[in-house]
């Protein structure tokens, strides 16, 4: 039997999203960067946030690695844990976007179902969700090996790495595909910056 007294109750804020955004000139949305380890997701995310901040926009990088030090510190790297990691990141990103932040999320997010969930909860809350596939080829990611993970796998370490010995389901219809043909990261950042500013009603 369900104890109704313990059921959470949704509280509508006294300050509406429209009031919040208009007062502070915010325009919240989520930019979701998916791709293999070493593809350049975090580099693009932080540079995009820097440029947006210089232009007076409220931008925040919700870095998946950083969140694993706190909120998601109890999660490992099994398929179930990776899926839960993405679910939590999506929910937090939605909260940030609703609060008015241009929320930039660099996260491998290897499963299409997780990314679809992220999109759906944003759409249901009338928030923009922009999926970006940072599609740097595996060979280039291995050559960069920014975290040393590819070398560990090659050395026989007992770790699972998306796109190598663990699944990675590439997006089928993202808003943007970047870095597929060796485009420089600054060009990728500029592409996203133009799009974000247009969504905010500004021209680049």
Confidence of residue 5 (pLDDT cuts 50, 70, 90): low
Among 151, 104, 100, 92, residue whose Cα is nearest residue 131: 104
For residue range 79-102, list pLDDT tens digits in order: 899 999 999 999 999 999 999 999
**Among the options 22, 109, 123, 162, which is catalytic?**
109
Q: Please state the pTM of the whole predicted model.
A: 0.91
For residue 109, indicate whether it is catalytic: yes
Which domains are assigned to the chain?
A: 24-199 (3.40.50.300)
> Which tokens is 12 given?
């509508």
At residue 116, the pLDDT reads 97
At a CB cut-off of 8 Å and minimum separation 6, what does 139 contact? none
The residues with which 103 forms a beta bridge, in sequence order, are: 30, 60
CA angle (161, 167, 171) in 5-degree steps:
115
At residue 204, the pLDDT reads 58
Spatial distance between the Cα atoms of 29 and 31, rounded to a whole number of angstroms: 7
Spatial distance between the Cα atoms of 85 and 73, rounded to a whole number of angstroms: 10
> Strand order of the sheet with strand 128-134?
59-61, 102-106, 29-34, 128-134, 176-178
């Amino acid at each position: 039997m369900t104890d109704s007294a313990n059921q959470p109750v949704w509280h509508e804020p006294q300050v509406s999203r429209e009031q919040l955004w208009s007062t502070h000139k915010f325009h919240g949305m989520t930019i979701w960067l998916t791709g293999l380890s070493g593809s350049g997701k975090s580099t693009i995310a932080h540079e995009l946030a820097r440029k947006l901040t210089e232009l007076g926009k409220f931008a925040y990088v919700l870095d998946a690695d950083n969140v694993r030090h706190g909120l998601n510190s109890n999660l490992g790297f099994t398929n179930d844990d990776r899926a839960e990691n993405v679910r939590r990141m999506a929910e937090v990103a939605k909260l940030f976007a609703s609060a008015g932040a241009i929320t930039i999320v660099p996260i491998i997010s290897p499963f299409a179902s997780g990314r679809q969930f992220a999109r759906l909860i944003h759409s249901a809350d009338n928030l923009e969700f922009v999926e970006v596939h940072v599609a740097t080829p595996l060979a280039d990611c291995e050559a960069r090996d920014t975290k040393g993970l590819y070398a560990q796998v090659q050395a026989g370490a007992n770790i699972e790495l998306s796109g190598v010995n663990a699944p990675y389901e590439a997006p089928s219809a993202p808003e943007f595909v970047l870095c597929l043909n060796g485009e420089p990261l600054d060009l990728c950042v500029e592409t996203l910056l133009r799009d974000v500013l247009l969504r905010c009603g500004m021209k680049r």
